[in-house]
Each structure stands twice: as C-alpha cells, then as structure tokens.
Amino acid sequence: MVSKKWKVLWDKRALEDLLLITKKDAQLIVKKVENYLSKDPLKLGKPLKGQLKNLYRYRVGNYRVVYAIEKEEITILVVRIGKRDEIYKK
C-alpha cells in the first residue's frame, strides 16, 4: 500500500520564525517537515492541550514545529516554529 503524502503549507508567521534561526537549523526543519512529517502527521506529531488543543507539535532537535491538520484536504499548515521554552508563549 502506498501512503499518500500530505501537502505542506507554511503560514506567514512560520516563515518569519524560520528567518530568526540559523540557516542550518531552518534547512533541517524544512527538510524534516517536507520529507518525514508529511508522510504521517497524525502519528509523528503529538496533539497539544489547552488553548492549543486543535494543533499538533513535531520535534526537530531543540525546535518545535506547531501545525494544524486539515484531514479532508490532506493538508498540514505549519503555523509556528520555535524553541520549546519559547514556542508556547507566542
């Protein structure tokens, strides 16, 4: 069975977050999201709780990628990227 790859969309805020981190880390995050997370975002990510309960997180090194899932459209929307101690305060 061939698994369907999810389409990845990047929110403007997530793209701005990428510009604030090192180029090497930003490239790694984009690569991991596009090549790994897009294969199974429900299994690879973890659901968030509280005010962020409709979002998921995916860990890439010291960074967290926060994203929403649109199941009907088979789409991942990356909304924010940041270090663990900062990301949930944004």
pLDDT digits (tens, 9 = 90+) for 11-32: 999 999 999 999 999 999 999 9
**Is residue 59 domain-resident?**
yes
What's the CATH number where 56 sits?
3.30.2310.20
Single pTM value for the model:
0.91
pLDDT digits (tens, 9 = 90+) for 43-88: 999 999 998 899 999 999 999 999 999 999 999 999 999 998 888 7
**Is residue 24 domain-resident?**
yes
Residue 54: DSSP 8-state: T
> What domain range includes position 47?
7-87
Domain count for the chain: 1
Residues 6+ apart with CB under 8 A from 69: 6, 41, 42, 56, 75, 76, 77
* pLDDT grade for 90, boundaries at 50, 70 and 90: low
pLDDT at 4: 75
CA distance 15 to 78: 9
**Is residue 2 domain-resident?**
no
